[in-house]
Amino acid sequence: MPRPPRIEYSDALYHVTSRGNARQTLFHTDQDRQRFLLQLQDNLESYGVVLYAWVLMTNHFHLVVRTPRANLSRFMQRLNSSYSLYYRYKHRKPGHERQRGQTVTGCCPNRFLSTEE
């Protein structure tokens, strides 16, 4: 049974994680990490998403983002798809390298990200 559509909000803050299928490695080399970061930057600009923090682990990544346009699903779909195409071509691995979907949680209130005291 498919999951229900994700409810998205304008100007919402999210903690997003996405990992490799069966916890397989997503980032084998520094070149893989650099490519992902370039694609992340491109997608942030294209979708108007604001990035507050990121962490790349061997088999997954974390992002803390704000979506002024309520477009988290489209942003993540394009980011994951573009990196997947690169990954499959570069490492000559057919099939899926990501688990279905990603984990998204609403994040902390704005006061935790404020630089003002």
pLDDT digits (tens, 9 = 90+) for 41-88: 999 999 999 999 999 999 999 999 999 999 999 999 999 999 988 988
Q: Is 55 helix (H, G, I), strand (E, B) or coil?
A: strand
| Domain housing 29 | 12-108
pTM equals 0.80
Backbone phi and psi for residue 110, each to the nearest 5 degrees, phi listed first: -55, -30
Per the structure, how many domains does the chain have?
Answer: 1
* Mean pLDDT of all residues in 4-8: 77
Over residues 87-102, the pLDDT tens digits come to 888 887 765 555 445 5
Is 31 among the domain residues?
yes
Query: In the chain, what percentage of residues exceed pLDDT 90?
Result: 55
Q: Which of 1, 43, 31, 116 is nearest to 18 (CA)?
A: 43
Is 1 among the domain residues?
no
Is 117 among the domain residues?
no
Is 5 among the domain residues?
no
CATH code, domain with 21:
3.30.70.1290
Is 32 among the domain residues?
yes
Question: How far is the C-alpha of 57 from the C-alpha of 37, rounded, in Å?
Answer: 13
Give, for 83, the enclosing helix (H) or strand (E): helix 72-91
